[in-house]
Structure 1
Amino acid sequence: MKITADALSALPGIRHGFFTRRGGVSDGIYASLNCGVGSADERAHVLENRARVTAELGVPPGQLATPYQVHSPDVVIVDKIWPTGDGPKADAVVTNRSGIAIGVGTADCGPVLFADGEAGVVGAAHAGWKGAFTGVLEATVAAMESLGARRERIVAVLGPTISKSAYEVGPEFRARFLEAGESNAAYFTPSPRADHHQFDLPAYIGMRLRTAGLGTVGDLALCTYADPDRFFSYRRTTHAGEPDYGRLLHAISIAA
């Protein structure tokens, strides 16, 4: 049902999970742990699936805060739980409150979970190419610092994300990155199609996290596209011509 990272599991009082698509109640293309309230799945199924996630983290049902994701660099500090599906528009959440869970949903983009165990501050970021490019990871760290975290103590781990071999992009995409810095060429490899490249989103996210000066940066090195048994994938769904797709949930909490 969930995958954990050793670096986060080693922190006392911190519980987390990068949840797979297994262990839920949804069926069809959403089978089975679809946690996306923005999908066309039955809402009752989604709510039950999210309740199963919070139970895994030792948090009561309904005590889960996820944002309304818009591929932005924006971060919200969570001091109270909002109704499911009514979260603020943002792509990262941080908190120092115990007894609740915060999380983000993905279906190829990079989910990053953060924790400073000593300060008791955690974060979760949805880092697609646009969010990572515009600074959502650094903004998450800054928000955590505002709650007392220190970046040299922060552990950040990247969960299941689309890999370079499955992520072909066009010339305009690459040009945008090169305009920001010629060093970004390192994250692109030519693909068989003329003027197209494979983009290494996990490596780019890792670079941004390391450049931010965090204490520990990890990567589970799992590809959402290549593993349909465990992960939902927007790009795989598009290639298959399916009408919709499920969302994976990645969450973290501070034990009460």
Structure 2
Amino acid sequence: MKLISWNVNGLRAVVKHDFKNIFDQLDADIFCIQETKLQEGQIDLELPGYHQYFNYAEKKGYSGTAIFTKTEPLNVTYGLEDEDFNHEGRTITLEYPDFYMITSYTPNSQQKLKRIDFRMGYDDVLWAHMQKLSKDKPVVLCGDLNVAHNEIDIKNDKTNHQNPGFSDQERAKFSELLDSGFTDSFRYMHPDEVKYSWWSYRFNARQNNAGWRIDYFVVSNNGKDMIQNADILNDVYGSDHCPVELDLDIKEK
């Protein structure tokens, strides 16, 4: 089973360019999107063979997530169990027979970490959601998690220390999740590989590969043996992020 996650930085914008061709070429079983930046009725996206699920932010042109899946899920849940974190369309959970699929557009803690408390609260509620579900069956979390976990995951670690996405607090919080029984699939498959998934639009960052790895597939340890491959598709353009991929061995029942 092939899973793709991509922060498109505006779905309407990327659809006007090459999204459909990229989508068709990747041919994912489940394709997760973050930062859709749209409201219900603002896009008519024809994706034959896929069921479409959107979670919209209340604020127009902001945040938002979507999942396109070939297999209809058993259940769909929008948001988390704390309503404080459900106004920005950041989370969707699909239940399948063999696992749960969650996509997250994790809040950016913003300059001077002015939104760090909201960000930490979101992580706590999301982590609890994942831990609860993982007692039932494996959990796969994907999305723009807005954190470069270790120095290997960011080009300029020293100059970015305590910047949003590379603060000690955010990195420690992500460590908490992994320590509680979850695996960063890319780092599991590629312990020493340097590869990034986001580049600033400034300073020719992408051309210079001055990037950050902030887009992930995280798998609960009770599903770790399903991981076949994990990759970062940094030859795919159209956003300031590139897609990330996870291939799972899901036995047909």
**Could you state the TM-score of these two structures normalised by the residue count of structure 1?**
0.41
More contact order relative to length (CA 8 Å, sep ≥ 6): 1
Structure with more helix by fraction: 1
